[in-house]
Structure formats: structure tokens, C-alpha cells
Amino acid sequence: MAEEGNVGRAISKSGAVRSLGAMSGTSLDGVDAAVVETDGHSIIGFGQSSYRAYDDEERSALRAALGLWHGPDVDNAADLVTRAHAEALSEFEDVDLIGFHGQTLAHEPRGRGTLQVGDGVWLSQALGLPVVWDFRSDDVALGGEGAPLAPFFHFACAKWIGAEKPLCFLNLGGVGNLTYVDPAFERPEDPGALLAFDTGPANAPVDDLMQARLGQAMDRDGAVARGGTVETGALELFLAEPFFSKMPPKSLDRNDFAEMVGLVKELNDSDAVATLTAMCAAGVTQGMEHCPKPPSRVLVTGGGRKNPVLMEMLRVALDCPVEPVEAVGLDGDMLEAQAFAYLAVRVARGLPTTCPGTTGVRALVGGGIVSAPERARSLP
């Protein structure tokens, strides 16, 4: 962990902390923000949450920077992301620190690394609170995939809901990722407690096609997919991609499967969206084969859980109950923001946030930079 400034006065070495997490995901819809009360091990409780949507102009600016590592579009995206977060987070009071993920623009863990834009130093000064950011770079530097990062929080969630049998958390955002949790273990870093990996593209290809063809941000409620027929030939070509035969841990960039849209370009709108939706479900089904034991249930978070067509595809394909995380009292809209609130406390207290089972990193890593403001915010 790199550290700037002294955060000791804001974050005691033990006891509960009110941490505010923020997430801007690959779906490019907006900034989720949520408070978690935690000691970095257990979840004590959940607090206020909010959502700050990106407008069409902001989404276009972020799309223009996807896949880029530097240049004016990247600089513009970084400024946009930082200021949008400052706006979203300024309404929160009585918090001790902030976990700031930023916006992923490019991700090549075996190549150029990983890039999440957004200025944690500026945000810390603007809000008067310590900010933990750049969560992924240290993991990648030590041979990890840098993703997914939520599994340690998923482990805490499994304990919070009182799970006794292995289960999976499935996040269906722009990219899909799966966390297998065995709650019989005491700590998330214990060997065998966690296995995590990206399953494949999720909502991103559908969203991109809907925007390009119909001028709509998403297939709301699966309405377009419901009227279509899955093209099995395109689905078979998709599953022939080497990614699906690779053993986890493994991760993806949002644009790694951009050619998926090419597989459905000759199809009408409904058939194309139905086929892309089926590709998401098939990637998850393939990924489930890597679980050490059959999970007792799959809890789904992210925007994909609101698509009844996708959820039905998963229920048909998997041999266990598939439910939105709301079934166990969690908030599927805010789970990733809550994850970075939780991880921020772990980073600030020198606890690991990734391990070989979650990212393939060579050793336990507590990755992140802690930036402290020159002048602390006056808290109630």
C-alpha cells in the first residue's frame, strides 16, 4: 500500500469505521455511492446510498476514451469522472474515509497493465476526507489479473447473511464475474475460501448494440430479447473463444469481445439481442464448471439481474436456485460501491484485498493508495 499523509487520526487501528464507497462501472451508466460500517473484517451495517447518472454527453465522452491509455480523450474522461464523483459524494456526512474505484478505460494485466482514471488526490482535497484509490495496480504488478476485486467483500456478505454452504455471487454489469465463496473458512484469504474470475461479456455488448441500432441505452426488462430467437451458430462460435477453456483466475477488458456484435450483424434487432443475451448466460454456465463444489445458490447482482430473459436463461441452465441478491437482504444496485467502501478500510488497515484464488496474484496484496487531505473535513 502506498500512503500519502497521515490517516491515523481519521481511521483508528481497530473498531468500526463508516466508509463511503463509489463505483463507476463498465456499463457507463453513472456513479453508485454507498456507506458501509465495518472494521475491515465483518460487516457491521449498511448506510445511506445514492446514484448520480451520467448524461448522454458524459457517456459519449467516456465511450470515446474506452480502450485508450493516454491522450486528450483520456484526460477529459479523468476530469469528468473525478468531478462527477465529487458531486455524488459531497452530499454524504458523518463518514471517515472514501473508497474511490474510478473508471476503467483499459485493462491488459499481461500487457500494458490496467487503467482506472480519476484523481484521488484532488478528490481528497475537495472533500476533506482520506481517499483510498488505485486498487488494482499493485495486484497487476505482482502478477495478478487485477480483477475481480469484490470477492473479499462477497466473503463478508456470505458471513453477514449467515450462509453455511458454498454459494456464488454473480455480478452482471458490463462484464460478468463470478465469486465462489465457501463460508466454512474463517478468512477470505484462506486457501479454498474463494475462487473468482470473469465469466465473459455481460450487458456491454447488448447495451452497445441497443445504442447503435435503436438509440436506447439498454434492453430494458429484456423486452427486445424476449421477441427474438437465439442464433445457435453464432453462440457456438462465441463459446469456441479460447477464453472459455482457460482456467481461472482470469479477467477481461470491456472491449475484449467487441467482435461479438459482428457475429450478429446480419440478424434482426430482436434475434441479435436475444443471441447476445444468450452469450452472456452461456459464459456464466461455462464458468460454473470451475467451482470446486456445486454451489447451494447463485445470488445475482448488477444490472443483469433486472433482465428477466437473462435470469430465466440462467435458471434453466444451472442446477441450483438463481436469485437476485435482494432475496438475502442485499442491494444489487449498490453492492459494488459497498465493496469499495469495505476494501478501503482493509487497505487503510494493511489488510489484503486480493489473493491467489481471486486474481492469481503471487502473494496476498492490499493494493491501493491512501491520500489524505491537508485539512480534514468537519464531521458532525
Kindly state the cell numbers that stand for 340: 469499495
- Let me know how many helices (H) and strands (E) the chain has, helices first: 13, 13
In the chain, what are the domain boundaries?
Answer: 2-148+334-371, 162-328
pLDDT at residue number 1: 46
H/E element, 284: helix 269-288
User: What secondary structure letter does DSSP report for 208?
Assistant: H
pLDDT at residue number 26: 80
pLDDT at residue number 256: 81
Indicate the pTM of the whole model.
0.93
Q: Where are the beta strands (DSSP E) in 81-236?
A: 97-108, 113-117, 131-133, 167-172, 175-181, 194-201
Is residue 109 exposed (0-12), middle (13-18) or buried (19+ Cβ within 10 Å)?
A: buried
Q: What is the mean pLDDT of each run of 10 residues along the chain (380 residues)?
A: 46 85 91 98 98 96 96 98 98 96 93 95 97 97 94 98 98 94 98 96 93 94 98 96 92 81 94 98 97 97 96 97 98 97 97 97 95 71
Contact 158, 184 (CB under 8 A): no
> What topology does CATH give the domain 2-148+334-371?
Nucleotidyltransferase; domain 5 (3.30.420)
Question: Cβ contacts of residue 40 below 8 Å, gap of 6+?
Answer: 17, 342, 345, 346, 348, 349, 351
Contact 89, 98 (CB under 8 A): yes
Kindly state the cell numbers that stand for 179: 465469486
pLDDT at residue number 309: 98
307: left (phi over 0), alpha (psi -120 to 50) or beta: beta
Cα(121)–Cα(327) distance, integer angstroms:
38
H/E element, 340: helix 335-348
Of 159, 173, 238, the residue nearest 202 (C-alpha): 173
Question: Cβ contacts of residue 101 below 8 Å, gap of 6+?
Answer: 21, 22, 23, 24, 116, 118, 133, 135, 336, 340
CA distances from 373 to 4, 29, 159 (A): 9, 29, 34
Kindly state the cell numbers that stand for 323: 436469485
* Architecture in CATH of 162-328: 2-Layer Sandwich (3.30)
3-state SS string for 260-271 = HHHHCCCCCHHH
pLDDT at residue number 12: 64
Cα(291)–Cα(293) distance, integer angstroms:
5
28: left (phi over 0), alpha (psi -120 to 50) or beta: left
User: What secondary structure letter does DSSP report for 348?
Assistant: H
Query: Is there a common fold for 2-148+334-371 and 162-328?
Result: yes
User: What secondary structure letter does DSSP report for 354?
Assistant: B
Cα(297)–Cα(169) distance, integer angstroms:
9
Report the mean per-residue pLDDT for the chain: 93
Give 237's Cβ-side CA count (13 Å radius). Answer: 14
